[in-house]
Structures are given as C-alpha cells and as structure tokens.
Structure 1
Amino acid sequence: MSFYTSLSGLKGAQTEMSVVSNNIANAGSIGFKRSKAEFGDIFAASPNQSTKTVAGQGTRLSGITQQFTQGSYESSEKTFDMAVIGDGMFVVKGEAPRNQVTYTRNGSFSPLEDGRVVDSTGATLQLLPVDADGNVTSRDLASTQDFVVPQHAPGNPDAALVNISIGLDGLATATFADGSDQTLGKIAMATFPAMEGLRPIGDSHWQSTGDSGPPTIDAATNGPMGSIQSGALERSNVDITEELVMLIAAQRNFQANAKAIEGASALTQTIIGLR
C-alpha cells in the first residue's frame, strides 16, 4: 500500500510542477491569469474499523483553479490597447459561421482594413448600443454589435476620420475632419458569479460554463465591471519569485515521495528476501 500512497504523492508533485511551469512560461503573456493546483487527502475505512488505527492512502488532485487577481499595467501608445481596472472582461465574437462568444482580459486590439477592431485571435470586440446621450439602451449578448471604425463622417464622404477616443466608461467616439463626432457605442463588458468556473481555451480567452454561471453584460464603470484605461495593457498576474519558491517545494515533495518508494522497496526486499 505504501507504494501506491507514495505514487499518488509523486503524481501530485508532478502536477504541481506542471502548473507552476505553465505559470512561469506565461509570465509575459498579456492578460494571463495564473493557476493553482489544489489537493485533498485520500482516506478510507470500513464502518467497523477504528479510524485511530487507519492511515491515509495518499493524495488526489481536487482541481486546478485560476486566480483572477489584478495584474500589473504597462503604458502603450495605442488607443486600442486597453486595460481593465476591475473584474470585468472584454466580450469578443469569433468569425462566422460559428460566431463564438468568448471573454478576455487581453486588451491588445487592432483595427483591420474593413474597420473591425479585433484581438490577437481575430475575434471582434463587441459594443453595446447607446442613445444620443451615450446611455446604454440594451444589456444582453443578442444586442451587442461589432466594433467597426468608420472611415468618414456619416453623410459626408469627404470628411475623413481623424481620431478615435475611448473613455473610462468604454464610450467609443469617432472625430472627423469636418469637426463632427459620432458615438459608436460602449465597449461590452462581462462578469460572472464564479469566475473560477470559466473554461480557459488559450490566448487568455475563456468561455462561460455551468460552473461559472451566466454572464452579466454591462458597460464599464457599472458595478464590478471596473473602468477601461485606453493606452495601457494588463500584464499577467504571475509573481516569478513566488512561482520559483513553489517550484522548489514541488521538487522537494517529488524527491521525498521517491525516497519513500525506495525505502518501501528496500523493506520489501529484506522481508521477502528478493534481490
């Protein structure tokens, strides 16, 4: 039994090293959230046994949870580089025919030739519709629209685009050469009842699940959505020093369990007399 107990410890230490290694590898990834391996003990006894005389039977992986704490920020020269100061996530939609909706903290967006503002995966940033005063008129996924940068003023093809500004509340405004402005909408943001239940799909993108609960869609500066800082990017929340300490601890746990297996093997050889 000691062989299997130590084997579970080896597997646990190996899993922890894999998780820590992934955190370190993504220390420079924009919007990345570190993960943490959580373990539980294995204990079994029959009803007629005294638990005072029964040893544990090892450990098991309870789950790998993501830590959605705030990352540090770096300044940028681009208007479409955006950082979220709060719990909100950007809502992006993939290309047709799937039109897959995902959520991200990676605010590195760029406009394409057709005007669509997309992220590094090609998914288009979504906007909430607003009225003439900039107030959101609908707050659900079905009402969101693609963020498309206009090339000229409405009704005046000779007035070219001069500037795009994005406010703390996510309000996107286009300014044209004739001095006119056009309100495009507010950047759609989402929060979840249980952020740790989101399903990671890579590239700092997540999908909603039954564990995360349905998304709450709204604009920035409302509730826990936080605010949007244009001209900045959120870096990963990985602390290299902390990760290295955890990596050393996982290595020591692995070595200790390997020694326990070696000791059990030597004891078995002595008792049975096999070499």
Structure 2
Amino acid sequence: MSFYTSLNGLKNAQTELSVIANNLANAETTGFKKSRINFSDIVSSSASTNPKLVKGLGSTVQSIDQNFSLGPVQQTGAALDLAIDGEGFFTKVNPTSGKTFYTRNGNFSLDGGGFITDSSGDRLQLLPVDATNTVTSLTPQDAIAPLTNGAGSDFIGVTVTNDGSIMASYADGTTQSIGKVALAAFVAPNGLLQLGNQDWASTGISGAATYNQPGAARFGNIMSGSLEQSNVDIAEEMVGLITAQRYFQANAKAIDTATQLSQTVINLRT
C-alpha cells in the first residue's frame, strides 16, 4: 500500500512542478495570470470503521486555481495599448468563427478596415454611444473607426480616454467618439476556461459575462498607453519550486524505503 500512497505523491509533485514551470515560463507574458495547485487527502474508511484506525491513502489534486490579481503596469506610450485597473476583461470576437473571447492583454492595433484588433485578428468590442457620448446599449459590437467623417475628411488615428471612450481623429481637425470599450465581469472568474494566447472563455462555472462601461462598479478604468504585465512573482515561484522538488524527493525516498523493506522480507531465511 505504501508504494501506491507514495506514487500518488510523486504524481502530485509532478503536477505541481508543471504548474510552477508554466508560471515561470510566462513571467514576461503580457496579461498572464498565474495558477496555484490545491491538494486534498485520501482516506480509507466506512461507517463501520473504527475512527482510531482510519489510515490515509495519500493525496490527490483537488483543483488548479487561477489568480486574477492585478499585475504590474508598464507604460508604453502607444495609444491602443490598454490596461484595466479593476476586475474587468476586454471582450474580443473572432470575425471568422464569431466566437467571443475575454482577455487582460490590451495590446491592440488598427487593421486596414479601421477595426481595432489584437495580434490574432480578433476584434475589440465596444458599447455604442450617442452624440453626447452616453452609452446607449450594453450589447457589445465591433470597434471600428470610420475611414472618413461626415465632412469627407480622412481618418488619422484613434486615442482612448480613461473612461474608455475611443476617439477617432480626422484630417480636418475634428474628433468623434465611436464608442466606449466594453468590459466584461464574471461572478466566478476562477471558472473561466483558459484557451492560451491570454484568452479565456466563459463556462457554466464562471457564469455568463456581464458587460458595462469602464468606471462602473468593479469593472475598472482604462489606462491608455499602458500594458498589464504578468502577475507571476518569480521569487515566490522559485521557493515553490524548491518545495515541490523536496516533496518529489521525499516520496521517491519513501518508495525506495518500501522497496528495501519488501526485499528484506523476501530474503528472510528460516
């Protein structure tokens, strides 16, 4: 039995090492959120078992939780580099599949059609506004800057204000708001499904996304010209790496000891 108990420990240590390695590998990944592994014990008992004789059977991985704490913010100066100082997520839609993704990576740019996209071509979503820059609907739509304004002047570029307003500028010196950045929030963000590329998708555990404009409740404000960096603490991960290594070594030693005991019993002579 001790072989399987320690084997469980080896498998768990290997999983913990994988989680820590992934955190360290993404220490410089924009918008990355670190993970943490949680263990639970396994016992062998029933209603008729003497509680004083209950023994453990090792441990198992209970969950791998994501930590959505705010990472350090780096100033870049680029107008479409955006960071969120709250709990919200940027909302993106893939123009080909129509699928919706959520991210904390605010590295966006303009494509040839005036759409604001990320490096994968997914389009940033915004909330429509009226002439007074008041949000008129909480249903997100593609962020697109008209290539000419009502007077026929050519589009020059966009800027984003702290309240999330996306302002398009034109050659005649005029500006107009094309909408406000749509931020999404979730009842249980730990239930979001990681998809890679710093993207998440909603699940039944996370609940459906709730949309609102920047500055509302817990959604947070927009910081233009900035990017949120990974929230991985390298020193903390290195300490965890050493602990996981000792955990692995201890279970390996337990297996070695059990092997020696078994060998001793086999070699007993009458």
TM-score (norm 1): 0.95
Note the alpha carbon deviations across 1:207-234, whole angstroms, 9 max, x for none.
0000001111011000111000000000
Does structure 1 residue 248 correspond to structure 2 residue 247?
no
In 2, distance between residues paired with 1:257 and 1:205? Answer: 36
In 2, distance between residues paired with 1:259 and 1:59? Answer: 17
In 2, distance between residues paired with 1:106 and 1:112? Answer: 18
Give the drift of 1:197. 0.3
Give the drift of 1:139. 1.0
3-state SS of paired residue (1:223): coil
In 2, distance between residues paired with 1:151 and 1:55? Answer: 71
In 1, distance between residues paired with 2:94 and 2:231? Answer: 26
Does structure 1 residue 102 correspond to structure 2 residue 101?
yes
3-state SS of paired residue (2:124): strand
Q: Number of residues paired by the alignment? A: 268
3-state SS of paired residue (1:103): strand
4+ residue runs of structure 1 moved beyond 3 angstroms? none
User: Percent identity among equivalent residues?
Assistant: 46
Alignment of 1:113-152 (within 5 A): 113-140=112-139, 144-152=140-148
Give the drift of 1:272. 2.1
In 1, distance between residues paired with 2:103 and 2:46? Answer: 48
Does structure 1 residue 71 correspond to structure 2 residue 104?
no
3-state SS of paired residue (1:224): coil
In 2, distance between residues paired with 1:224 and 1:212? Answer: 16
Give the drift of 1:271. 1.2
TM-score (norm 2): 0.96
In 1, distance between residues paired with 2:48 and 2:182? Answer: 59
1:225 matched to which residue of 2? Answer: 219
Matching residue within 199, 202, 206 for 2:193: 199
Give the drift of 1:72. 0.2
1:81 partner amino acid: D
In 2, distance between residues paired with 1:115 and 1:123? Answer: 13
Structure 2 residues without counterparts, runs of 5 or longer: none
Matching residue within 137, 149, 153 for 2:149: 153
